[in-house]
Amino acid sequence: MAIQFNSTNLKTEPVSFEGALLKGIAPDGGLFMPLEIPKFSAEEIRAFSAMKYSEIAFEVGKKFFEGEIPEPDLARIVREAYDFDVPLEPVFDNKFVMRLDRGPTASFKDFAARMMGRLMQFFLGRRGGRLVILTATSGDTGSAIANAFYGLDNIEVIVLFPEKEVTARQRKQMTTLGKNVSIIALDGKFDDCQAFVKRAFADPELEDMKLSSANSINIGRLIPQSIYYFYAFAKLREGAPDDDIVFSVPSGNFGDLCGGLIAMKMGLPVRKFVVATNANDEFPKFLGSGEYHKLEPSRNCISSAMNVGHPSNVPRLVALYGGVMDEKGVIHKMPDMEAIRRDMFAVSIDDPATERAIAEAWETHRLLLEPHGAVGWAGLMRYLERGEVDDGQLCVSLETAHPAKFPEKIREILGFDPELPPSLEGLEQKPEMFDKMAHDYGEFKGWLRGRGGKDAAIRPTKDEREKYHVNYQKDTNFAASARLLQSKWREKKGYQELKLGNFLEIEFAKSSKANFLTDRIKQLVVQEVKRIKKEGGLIGEPRIWNNLLSSQPLCFNLFGELYYNLDLASEYFRLLFPGKLEEVKRIKFEYSPGRGNNKYTDDNSAFDVFIEYSSSNKRGFIGIEVKYAESLKEESNKKATNYFMQHEQRYTELTNNTGIFRQRSIEMLKRPPLSQIWRDHLLSIATKQDYDEGFFVFLFPRQNEECQKAVDEYRKNLISDDEEQTGFYPRYLEDFINILREIENDDWTKELQERYLGA
């Protein structure tokens, strides 16, 4: 059974990993943690010694994601995320530095960000929708997140950083990207940036923005950070049954440390964690006194990414030891302090000690460290001075960033510039793009509300609309763009228009079937129109023949060839819905299991496309509703209300008996723009009585903002975002077409993409 995740504040219901990942912060303001931590046996951990990093990542991921991510997808995710080296540099007497700086942004944050980005993309691709990643950075997090999510068309990234507390190279790694990445320099400290982010998550007026976090407060970053602890031990262990290891972790927001603690709880034999902070020493003092006090304001140190006066992940650490701390740092239940002190040695390393560590490591061992890694190394040296372990004890200190990211400090202390890694070459010449902002949450909130959304459709110019005869004033921005696209396709084909550029002349359209892309699809449409009429179904004529903008022709153009090739259909739907089905048995169009039948919805509702499939000796179905340029407001409120009144008893019965709708949701669901989604969803629920399983897909273009708003609003009326539970699967047309082109790259799919997506 899949592991569930609960809030550290213990005031919300547990959620799946998918829910925790995409939400970021729990509704009660706490951080998500697994209800149980899976275990590795000693034999399983010993087997890691023969594995590559990505293979260890796969084994760790399986423990947490089993039941949510199919193994082939997880294997692909970790293989793509971890395509760089993880050097373990020997220093002296079984003491090593693990260099976590070989990723694309030369920071340990790459390990978490790259896997997290791919996990989010996997779940968003499966469920539809888009996210706005809002994150604060004290240095490396921002560049790692920005690069990991850069160019993803269903995710927008907004990063806040303290203007005066990051290096020029750290800043340029964020501010030179553009596209779906926006950067804000805040006149304040990291804690101020983090406070803005947390406040935005809790702001009810920003709820519709679908905010999610990519800081270490997101569980999707924490779990990947446990992997390199297993890797270090696996590669350095000597083979004795009682092998153990000491880790020294430079600690700022404490995500890295919590990843290590999770690894230890999973069975990794860690003798001690050295928790090395800079002059922001609230945690070492907590271990000493048992009293936790935030440090406000945080202290500015040369290890800038660790300038944190109240580490966001301390509540997770407290939770791992049986306590409860809220997001403000108030402890409501004390953790087991004796166990914490047994497992951890905490030490504060100020700037002079950090600079000495950089100099001594180079002079004594030719070990090149930057300020954060130097804090970790100095902390380890302090621990060894206590004499608690033998000289040959295996110890690993984490180097979290490449020294070339701090050239000024290295030059000042050691007298030379560190060599640039490939990921930093050419950075100085790139132009920067970022906004500056005062320490004013109101200004920040206004910026968020007015940012416009980078994936929004842009309305074509009036001149262009008039040129192609599609200047219809009532169109939404997307409908105007789609109408123009269809008119351009018509002109390219040499077809004559009728009234508007997206209409064909009626007699020509009926005789030529020019609205359809292949000869077989044309034959299928003629066949299906006759059948649908005979069965009393609804088919829009002459719209299906001559309206290029209509979603009815789109249904046939997208799924028609699959009707004739069920092997291709099976491969296609397996890719669209991994783990859901094995073989497509039948494809139907404008299908209802029983129009006007009280066994179902008692009305004339029908699916645009209906897929019957088999899976593990089970019969299943996918009911699909397809939209293109529609706004879901075409049906008047009066008509929808009258329709509801005619079928109120059955609609109410189905809604209340399923257990997936919130109480008193019918008042919202019965009206446009939600009414049609609701009726089709109810039809899928009723149809399940004829099958072992089934679900409803609402398919629409990503830039159709009206459909997206309706989907977001509809989800608010469901008890959960878990698609398995609700049977509601919103999906994007772009993903359906792009995946089809991957497996069937021929004239049909090429024209399908060109006509409906414009590419």
Query: pLDDT tens-digit profile of 654-708?
Result: 999 999 999 889 999 999 999 999 999 999 999 999 999 999 999 999 888 889 8
Band (pLDDT 50/70/90 cuts) for residue 210 is confident
Domain annotation covers residue 703: yes
Strands (E), 67-166: 88-92, 95-99, 131-136, 155-162
- Residues 258 and 319 both lie in one domain: yes
| Beta bridge partner(s), residue 700 | 732
pLDDT-derived band at 530 (thresholds 50, 70, 90) equals very high
CATH number of the domain within which 131 lies:
3.40.50.1100
The answer to whether residue 545 is domain-embedded is: no
Where does the pLDDT of residue 449 fall: very low under 50, low under 70, confident under 90, or very high at 90 and above? confident
Q: Residues 192, 268: one domain?
A: no
Q: Does some domain include residue 329?
A: yes
Closest to 594 in 3D by CA, of 643, 535, 539: 535
- 353 and 437 share one domain: no
Residues 436 and 297 grouped into a single domain = no
pTM tops 0.75: no
List the one residue out of 97, 194, 111, 122 whose CA is nearest residue 145. Answer: 111
Burial track 195-214 (b if 16+ CB lie within 10 A, e otherwise) = bbbbebbeeeebeebbbbbb
Distance CA 183, CA 176 (A): 10
Residue 58 located in a structural domain: no
117 shares a domain with 94 = no
Which residues make Cβ contacts (< 8 Å) with residue 554, sequence separation at least 6?
626, 628, 756
Query: Is the same domain home to 146 and 159?
Result: yes
The token pair at 172 is: 């340029």
Q: For residues 102 and 188, state if they share a domain.
A: no
Is 81 inside a domain boundary? no
- CA–CA gap between residue 250 and residue 270 (Å, rounded): 16
| Token pair of 400 as six digits | 């979290």
* Same domain (yes/no): 571, 718: yes
Domain count of the fold of the chain: 3
Check whether residue 737 and residue 676 sit in a common domain: yes
Domain of residue 156 covers: 109-218+430-449
Tell me whether residue 526 is in a domain.
no
Q: Which residues of 440-468 are buried (b: 16+ CB within 10 A; e: fewer)?
A: eeeebbeebeeeeeeeebebbeeeebebb
Residues 103 and 155 in one domain: no
Asked if residue 268 is part of any domain, the answer here is yes
The answer on pLDDT for 349 being more than 90 is yes
Q: How confident is the model at residue 454 (pLDDT cuts 50, 70, 90)?
A: very low
Separation of first and last alpha carbons in the chain: 42
The answer to whether 21 and 123 are in contact (CB under 8 A) is yes
**pLDDT tens per residue, range 549-581:** 999 999 999 999 999 999 999 999 999 998 899
Based on the fold, state whether residues 180 and 263 are members of the same structural domain: no
Written as one letter, the residue type at 683 is: L
pLDDT of res. 340: 97
Apex CA 607: angle with CA 602 and CA 611, to 5°? 125
Triad 245, 247, 250: Cα angle to 5°: 180
pLDDT grade, residue 453 (50/70/90)? Answer: very low
Instruction: Give the span between the Cα atoms of 541 and 526, in whole angstroms.
Output: 12
What single-letter DSSP state applies at residue 701?
A: -
- Contact call for residues 280 and 251 (beta carbons, < 8 A): no
Report the distance separating Cα 279 and Cα 264, nearest Å.
27
147/242 same-domain check: no
Which helix (H) or strand (E) is 502 found in, with range?
strand 500-504
- Share the mean pLDDT of the chain: 91
Structural domain includes residue 739: yes
